[in-house]
Structure 1
Amino acid sequence: MSEALTWSGLDLQWAYSDVLNRISRHTFCKHKAFDILQDAIVYFAVSRSPYRDTEPQAYLNGIVNNLLVNQYRQEVKFVPYDEVALEESTTDYSPEQLYETKQKLFYLQRIVDLLPEKCRQVFWLFHVDGLKQKEIADKLGISLNMVEKHMIRAMLDLRAAKQKLL
């Protein structure tokens, strides 16, 4: 029977067989799976968590799960160009539909423009620039609680505007 190949308490044979296969099932790509596993092992190597030594396999699984979530979030941010081009080419709008859509967008822009300045900035940074609430608070020099209140105010105003439009 062969001796297990271990490193820092981590069974590398297990990592490169079981964990790699699990990652491959999630990513549908062996190359992405290798990248994620390599990243996980690097994070494992530089970690100073006590769980790294006491439960190395569970700790590596946790790192892999977090990396899979991050990879999924990154993928959903982008739409392949061919899907967008196909969607655009099959969509023909009548002049009336275009005018109606333009009017709705104009109305919504007016609602956003009428928000107080900080509220408008928070809304824009969150929904357009994609910043997290903590990043917005740091950037604008306000508390996280105020960011949440501004978001609620903006969403309530936009919801009321949407109900008027429909």
Structure 2
Amino acid sequence: MGTELNQDEKVKAFRRFFDKSYPKIKAFSLKLLKVEEDAEDITQDIFLKFWEKPELWYGKTEIDNLLFIIARNAIFNFIKHKSIFDNGLVELSDETVNIPLSDWISPEDELQAEEIRLLINMTIERLPEKRREVFLMHKNEGLSAAQIAEKLNISVRTAEHHIYRAMAELKKVLLSIIFLFFV
């Protein structure tokens, strides 16, 4: 983009771009982070960077993929630098959930596999405590809802509900992953 774009044109064009794209990116950030303020901060930072670099968006009609990739990367960077990981308040490990990512991601793309694993584990770690416990017992130990109910002294229906709700949350994240990585 050359110098032909004056400040007034830039403001008008950016407003259209912002109004169209901001709600989608904020909703995506909120879905992954689960904290309104963090999602708002990240989304604002992304659009500030776009404001500073109009060559990325001005005159472009299809930039949703770029926006979602930038949002995903900003979220990962935010999480990596957030002190809760440094302080050990949240522990993420490969053992949190055993999903054979190699079945649907090529071995040469280890970075994508690690990002997906991080998103899945983050989702599991952010589940309510009892739901996470039931889900991990079901997935990692292979226990049925009845076995979990007996161990935790809860009803079978409650155990089933926790498993169902955890799976629903993971499906939302997996759909986002599929959109970002494979579409």
Instruction: Give the TM-score normalised by structure 1.
Output: 0.43
Structure with higher RCO (Cα < 8 A, 6+ apart): 2
- Structure with higher Rg: it is 1
Which of the pair is proportionally richer in helix?
Answer: 1
TM-score after normalising by structure 2? 0.39
